[in-house]
Chains A and B, each alone.
Chain A
Amino acid sequence: MKRIAGMLLVVLAVAGVLWADGALSINGAGATFPYPMYSKWFDEYHKKNANIAINYQSIGSGGGIKQVTEGTVDFGASDVTMNDEQLKAYQDKHGTGILHFPTVLGAVVPTYNIAGVEASLNFTPEALAGIFLGKITKWNDPAVADANKGAKLPAEDIVVVHRAEASGTTFIWTDYLSKVSEEWKNTVGAGPAPKWPVGLGGKGNEGVTGTIKNTPNSIGYVELIYAESNKIPYGSVKNASGVFVKPSLSAVSAAAAGAAKAMPDDFRVSITNAPGKDSYPISSFTWLLIPQKFSDAAKRDAIKGFLKWALADGQNYAETLSYAKLPKEVVAKEVKAINKIE
């Protein structure tokens, strides 16, 4: 399987080289969530630098980590940071490290379908954890209803819908629930495909949305971009400062700014449940995974050049494509980190 994937990538790389007509070709693979952003970036960057062509395969975050560790691509991309074990595996194989570079931000929002409820609902962390643990089973449970005095919540069973396939979206959602609920952390945990205590699995954002639309009294979660572009109802979530925040790009950037002060040097940080009264608590960076050492100096310089561009001019494309921009503090820190690439 890996060999086949590797061969395919080689073929694609060769095709890319031929197509780019002698231009330097750089290959990456990974997360699907930032793919529209990345493909726009690579395209714009190629227009400005005709001698550099960056190819990107959106095969999923886990795939990105696997491919970069295998050495079949020049860089990876992921919605989830590599853990210590994965970093060690890379170190052992290549004798050098992997650097994480945050590129843009996204958010995950609770979405629902309740007959007769038109208003946007408010969710406390306790309500979300309770519902997804299967402890809160009725919509009119005080844990949900007390935060929504105006809405007429029915005495109906809650149907939970989650992603069927492993995904970065699920990781962000479960990472959040692990931070706000001790019970969730101990029994389910954070991961791209946990063992769900309750609920139905829908395939992809569209599978989750479809199941929710078809199932009365259901709740699920999707990416903010997806919810906005498909005009599905989504609720506000109470953040660490006790304020109910409606998900939006600025609320996501606020969460990133709140976390920026405590940003570690390797950028491996989770910003779910971030401090700050404007922060939307279920937000996350998405990262490029760049090897620390390149044997090919031309490739190294091209990637460094691209990163500098993406952190400066590139950020201007983010909001038109519904991604949240990086806060200035994070950009400044990353620009320094680019020098670590050798």
Chain B
Amino acid sequence: MATTTTTVPSAGPVAGSRSFLSRLRQGDEIARLITFLFAASVVLVTLLLVLELWQGSVLPRHKFGFNFFRTSVWDPIFEQFGALPFIYGTLVTAAVSLLIAVPLGIGAAIFLAELAPARVSDTLEFFIDLLAAVPSVIYGLLGVFIVVPLMRQYLQPVLKHSLGFLPLFQGPAYGVGFLTAGIVLAIMVIPYIISVSREVLLSVPRDQREAALSLGSTRWESTWKVVVPFARNGILGSIFLALARALGETMAVTMVIGNTPTISASLFSPGYSIAAVIANEFTEATGNLYLQSLIELGLVLFILTFILNGVARLLIVATSQRGRGMGNA
């Protein structure tokens, strides 16, 4: 112990100065430099992205300032631009999708990892990975041809009839709207939650389960009280991955959301999301203020993602510290 601690600091600089060339020859240094460059490029690309979005949105930032976030008029002809309905639509559809996808996804993951026979679990996993790889335009078509008619004919009338006293389920049933977009997004993100959560649950050490069982807990108790809490961070990670996809999804959302910038308490109302409006209007945006307002919307989406990711990180840190605290006590 003592010898190693004394040799390391003295050997460090000597090894560094003496063997840089030899390490270079052996390839270690080259590998270190190259992989460092690769890692640095991630940061570089992110910074460039922010810089480009920032520089590209000078005009609307000066003209509208904070009103860009507070106003809800989006009028390219009279050049009035406000982002609020798009921010609202993005957040509402993402929230609806997570409300549906999280319980379903985690439930399915627990079944696959803990309760299902290995063969069933592996087969299903294959299909789930397949679902995760389906291009989003296909989900959009599924939405247009199947979900939208189902919503209009069945689900929306039923919701209106049973829960119509809530402002959430009022107004005409068009089929398209926040709720439909949220449901299609949920279908899209569930495979991510299942796939990642299952892996995390499977990686919980066998000792944890055996310890719980040996203390007399039932199988479900060991799953719910030991395995799931142990895997909590990984499961949260899968949810944030799903959230990121829901926030940024363009094609499937624009096909079913109704593409109308409105803020309405009703989930039946047609809406619009940031990613969808950029995709729809960017190619034909003539006029600098119009084009730059769309770029500023991109910046808003970036900031939104950044904030939500930050909150997610804090949540993980907070919960894992609490977990450790409990463990110590």
> Which B residues lie within 8 Å of A210 (CB)?
144
A157 adjacent to chain B (CB < 8 Å): yes
Surface stretch bound by A, among B25-33, B74-82, B160-168: B74-82
Q: How does the 8 Å CB contact mask read for B70-108 relative to A, with 1 for contact and 0 for none?
A: 000111111010000000000000000000000000000
- Distance, CA A207 to CA B286, complexed state (A): 23
A97 adjacent to chain B (CB < 8 Å): no
A203, B260: Cβ atoms closer than 8 Å: no
Surface stretch bound by B, among A55-63, A119-127, A290-298: A55-63
A195, B73: Cβ atoms closer than 8 Å: yes
- Distance, CA A199 to CA B29, complexed state (A): 62
Q: Which single member of A62, A86, A191, A202 contacts B283 (CB below 8 Å)?
A: A62
B259, A167: Cβ atoms closer than 8 Å: no
Q: How does the 8 Å CB contact mask read for A39-79 relative to B, with 1 for contact and 0 for none?
A: 00000000000000000000111110110000000000000
Q: Are A195 and B284 also in contact (CB < 8 A) when A164-B259, A200-B174, A203-B254 are?
A: no
B259, A191: Cβ atoms closer than 8 Å: no
Q: Are A215 and B175 also in contact (CB < 8 A) when A195-B76, A199-B260 are?
A: yes
- Distance, CA A202 to CA B260, complexed state (A): 10
With an 8 Å Cβ cutoff, the count of chain B residues facing the other chain is 30
A192 adjacent to chain B (CB < 8 Å): yes
A190, B77: Cβ atoms closer than 8 Å: yes
- Distance, CA A188 to CA B276, complexed state (A): 22
B152, A215: Cβ atoms closer than 8 Å: yes
A193, B284: Cβ atoms closer than 8 Å: yes
Nearest-CB distance from A200 to chain B (Å)? 5
Interface residues of B (CB under 8 A from A): 73-78, 80, 144, 148-149, 152, 172, 174-176, 254-255, 258-260, 270, 272, 276, 279-281, 283-286
With an 8 Å Cβ cutoff, the count of chain A residues facing the other chain is 33
B259, A166: Cβ atoms closer than 8 Å: no
> Which B residues lie within 8 Å of A65 (CB)?
286
A-B contact pairs, 30 of them (CB 8 A): A62-B285, A62-B286, A65-B286, A86-B286, A159-B174, A164-B259, A165-B280, A191-B76, A192-B284, A194-B76, A195-B73, A195-B76, A199-B260, A200-B174, A200-B176, A200-B259, A201-B258, A201-B259, A201-B270, A202-B259, A203-B254, A203-B259, A203-B280, A207-B255, A211-B176, A214-B148, A214-B175, A215-B152, A215-B174, A215-B175
Chain B binding site: helix, strand, loop or mixed by DSSP? loop
Q: Which single member of B74, B149, B270 contacts A200 (CB below 8 Å)?
A: B270
- Distance, CA A113 to CA B122, complexed state (A): 48
Q: Are A203 and B255 also in contact (CB < 8 A) when A62-B286, A215-B175 are?
A: yes
Nearest-CB distance from B248 to chain A (Å)? 18
Q: Which single member of A61, A157, A194 contacts B172 (CB below 8 Å)?
A: A157
A194, B255: Cβ atoms closer than 8 Å: no
> Which A residues lie within 8 Å of B75 (CB)?
194-195
- Distance, CA A192 to CA B281, complexed state (A): 9
> Which A residues lie within 8 Å of B270 (CB)?
200-201
B280, A164: Cβ atoms closer than 8 Å: yes
> Which A residues lie within 8 Å of B175 (CB)?
214-215
Nearest-CB distance from A77 to chain B (Å)? 13
Q: How does the 8 Å CB contact mask read for A2-15 relative to B, with 1 for contact and 0 for none?
A: 00000000000000
> Which A residues lie within 8 Å of B280 (CB)?
164-166, 193, 201, 203
- Distance, CA A174 to CA B258, complexed state (A): 20
Shortest Cβ distance from B173 into A: residue: A215
Q: Are A164 and B77 also in contact (CB < 8 A) when A60-B283, A210-B144 are?
A: no
> Which B residues lie within 8 Å of A166 (CB)?
76, 280-281, 283-285
Q: Which 4 A-B pairs have the closest CB atoms?
A: A201-B259, A166-B284, A62-B284, A164-B259
